[in-house]
Amino acid sequence: MATEHRTTADDEGGEESGLPLGVSVAAAAVAAAVLLPVLWLVKTGLDVGFEEAVALLTRPTTLEVFLNSAILVALTTAACVLIGVPLAYLTVRTDLPFRRFWTIIVSLPLVIPSYVGAFAFVSAFGPQGGFQRLLAPVGIERIPEIYGLEGTVLILTLYTYPYVYITARAALKSMDTTLIDAARTLEHDRWETFRRVTIPQIRPAVAAGALLSGLYVLADFGTPSIMRYDVFTRVIFVEFGTFGRDTATLLSLQLVAVTLFILWLESRVRGEERTTAGGRSRAAVSLGAWRYPAMGFAALVAGLALVVPLAILLSWLGTASASVNQSLAFEWSYALNSVTVSAAAAAVAVVAGLPVAYLSARHDGLLPAAFERISYVGYAVPGVVLGLALVFFGSQYATPIYQTLYLLVFAYVIRFLPQSVGSLRASFLSVDPALPEAARTLGQTSAGAFRYVTLPLVAPGLFGGAALVFLTTMKELPATLLLRPSGFTTLVTHIWTAYASGYFGQAAVPALVLLFVSGLSMLVILRQEGYDVK
């Protein structure tokens, strides 16, 4: 029976003998809009001219930028796995004291934008920073250099390991622990069992988390800039600022290519997903005396990632007095601006994501799959590249919306559409296809069935996706810097201005407000996803 049921369910599209026209057109329009900036960038790149392009791409600096980026991504991703997986294991499988507390605490760094962290770390551990002043009385004049590769890896690891932690945690929680029992009865000790049973089971999830970390690192603009480490994003931004338009374009294309390579690499590493979900799951491993170093490990990570920036920001609150010039004073309208554009981006991303997600969840075939894949372009296009492409496009062909909020929101939507599509698609997939069918047999048209049955059931996923887009848009830095209308200041741009002009103290209030709003969005997401912290 199962076979028969599946056949009919899979072919649900056959009901309307093909794809629903309206939804398909909408999804195609979204896909086209998403592709536009990338295609534009490629066109601009082709305009450069072959010889000049070869010359630009083979310069020693270009090679250096490439190597710098590759080393950064490799080291950071490896460090994320080395921190994220053990933390996940400790909070899921062991009797770590205060597990609930640690579970939440070690996922919180996700709320802090990495550039805020970098900012705080530079201030604390940089030359003449707070930390060194603290140590000066005991005779320590020099502490290790925070700038450069080491510092960048440290910061990015501290704020991106939660991606690995969260995915690994989910995989460990859903893993059937009787598999482990089975391995133990087959004469495997605890370590062999971990190596031969647990790791293969959680590998796809860890790879997915590592991919998120790696892509974040590659696309991050703020942190390497603050840490003065030359990677693609930083150099592109600098070149663009100094009218090195061709170089910026070619480096952008190169960055997109590297991103695509990483996506391909991940699909290879992930391998075939042959994991079992469900089954019984229980915390089994007793840590014994190891629980103290284990807690120390979690405390160290959380302390560095959370306590340092919070302490710095709060200490600035006291010092950011009237001594600075008025133009850098914080205004609450900045927060309102941030919230407004983020909310607009979230709303548009959900509306644009609906047809794409619905089509790919409910219909098989080439087109729905293609639309879905295309909507993921945002993952492969770092913010600085997207901003650049839209600046070129907007200033030449879309002047009416250039330097307006429309173009800014458009950029956000392209960048974060994958988040809303992913969330919506999962929701659509979780709705039994028999439910709208039941509504049809009870007298509803297909539109009515969607309105009264499907939509209420996907509402949580819809709001979850919106909250996710909202959260990430609030923190977005490079595209905002490149595309905001002149005179339009958000929390993020204000922080950046304060940093660039050296008045660090002025960044305290907007950074804290940003953390607060991010925290709220995070709560919404955790509630929507029923994130289980037990």
Partner 1 sequence: MSNSTQTAVESDAEQRTENGDAERSAGTTSVPGPSAVDDDADVVLELDGLGKSYGSELVVEDLSLSVREGEILTLLGPSGCGKTTTLRLVAGLERPDTGAVRLNGRSVSGSTFVPPEERGVGVVFQEFALFPHLTARENVAFGLKDRPDEEVRERVDDLLELVDLADQGDSYPDQLSGGQQQRVALARSLAPEPEILLLDEPFSNLDVDLRVEMREEVRRIIKETGVTAVSVTHDQEEALSISDRVAVMNDGQIEQVGDPEGVFQHPESRFVAAFLGYASFVPGYVSGDVVETDLGTVPREQIHGLAPEYDRTRIDLLVRPDDVSVRSLDCEGVESSCGRVVARRYLGPTFLYEVELDTGESIQCMHNHDEDVPDSGPVDLELDADHELAWFPREQRPEDDSRYGE
Minimum distance from residue 458 beta carbon to partner 1 (Å): 11
Give the whole-angstrom CA distance, residue 126 versus residue 511: 19
- DSSP state string for 39-80: HHHHHHHHHT-HHHHHHHHTSHHHHHHHHHHHHHHHHHHHHH
Minimum distance from residue 278 beta carbon to partner 1 (Å): 18
Burial class of residue 275 (count of CB atoms within 10 Å of its CB; 0-12, 13-18, 19+): middle
Q: Which residues bind partner 1 (CB under 8 A)?
A: 1-5, 7-8, 11, 14-15, 17, 432, 434-435, 437-446, 448, 452-453, 456-457
**Closer to partner 1 at the Cβ: 2 or 322?**
2
- Is residue 302 within 8 Å of residue 117, measured between CB atoms? no
**Closer to partner 1 at the Cβ: 288 or 443?**
443
Two tokens, residue 2: 């199962």
Minimum distance from residue 528 beta carbon to partner 1 (Å): 15
Minimum distance from residue 364 beta carbon to partner 1 (Å): 11
Two tokens, residue 248: 């910026």
**Closer to partner 1 at the Cβ: 276 or 445?**
445
Two tokens, residue 306: 């959370």
Give the whole-angstrom CA distance, residue 346 versus residue 464: 10
Token match 């996923």: residue?
461
Contacts 24+ apart (CB under 8 A), 309-315: 309/112, 309/116, 309/117, 309/119, 309/120, 309/121, 310/515, 311/124, 312/120, 312/123, 312/124, 312/130, 313/116, 313/120, 313/507, 313/508, 313/511, 313/512, 313/515, 314/508, 314/512, 315/130
Give the whole-angstrom CA distance, residue 470 versus residue 392: 26
Minimum distance from residue 459 beta carbon to partner 1 (Å): 9
**Closer to partner 1 at the Cβ: 6 or 196?**
6
Continuous segment of H or E residues that includes residue 348: helix 332-362
**Closer to partner 1 at the Cβ: 14 or 127?**
14
**Closer to partner 1 at the Cβ: 281 or 444?**
444
Minimum distance from residue 14 beta carbon to partner 1 (Å): 6
Query: 94 — phi, psi (to 5°)?
Result: -115, 175
Minimum distance from residue 23 beta carbon to partner 1 (Å): 17
**Closer to partner 1 at the Cβ: 7 or 185?**
7
Picking from 98, 204, 170, 520, the residue whose alpha carbon sits closest to that of residue 338 is 520
Minimum distance from residue 10 beta carbon to partner 1 (Å): 8
**Closer to partner 1 at the Cβ: 13 or 86?**
13
DSSP 382: -
Residue 418's Cα: distance from chain center in Å? Answer: 10
Minimum distance from residue 16 beta carbon to partner 1 (Å): 8
**Closer to partner 1 at the Cβ: 100 or 527?**
527
DSSP 490: -
**Closer to partner 1 at the Cβ: 52 or 364?**
364
In total, the chain counts a number of residues equal to 534
Minimum distance from residue 447 beta carbon to partner 1 (Å): 10
